[in-house]
Amino acid sequence: MPRYLKIAMDLAARIASGEIPEGSRLKGRSTLATEYNVSPETIRRSMSILSDKNVLKIMLGSGIVILSKENAIQFIKSFKDDERVADLRLKLAQLMEKRSGMDEEILSLTKQIIDMYRYKRSDLITPVEIPLPGKSPIIGKSIGELEIWHNTGATIIGVVQQKDIILSPGPYYEFCASDRVLIVGDENVIERFNAFVNGIL
């Protein structure tokens, strides 16, 4: 917190507590500067803030007059609320940064898993990626509702949605127009799945 704000808060607290009563006059800027061990300019900025909030009035040639204890209390409350909001915003920004890092890590790990499926090894079945046609009759319907395995024999191991990959989607997953479906099965299964998503089967 800047020094001039700390001084403004301290003076407002003293006014709010009654230590400095309404109607009294504060010492000159030079005296206050010595008391708080700061420059007169810093005191001027502190007084300007309190003057703007009608806590006190700066009278040229007559010093500084305390106007309102209530306004001092409101200033303190408002400042603490603003400080709390700033603190919450900082924490939110930190959480969002952590979340972004976690999202990137999750995406990276998911891609690695999919890449492992794509390796052509003799002991693994290579998945086939099939994009859904824009007017596919299965769009908007769930895997369970369509009975994919019963109708095509295909096993769905994942769905690619732009930058996201959904592994092992459950029976309640509903297909979208931009989906690319990862399935495993022999040539007949792939042919039947293609026909199914195109509304031929």
Residue ranges per structural domain of the chain? 3-72, 128-198
Which class does domain 3-72 fall in?
mainly alpha
Instruction: Quick: pLDDT tens for 92-148.
Output: 888 888 887 787 887 777 777 776 665 544 444 678 899 999 899 999 999 999 999
CA–CA separation, 55 and 15 (whole Å): 9
Under 8 Å between Cβ of 18 and 69: yes
Name residue, tokens 């800047």: 2
Instruction: Quick: pLDDT tens for 38-54.
Output: 998 998 898 888 998 89
Q: What is the DSSP letter of 142?
A: B
Cα dihedral sign for 115, 119, 123, 126? positive
CATH number for the domain whose boundaries are 128-198? 3.30.70.1450
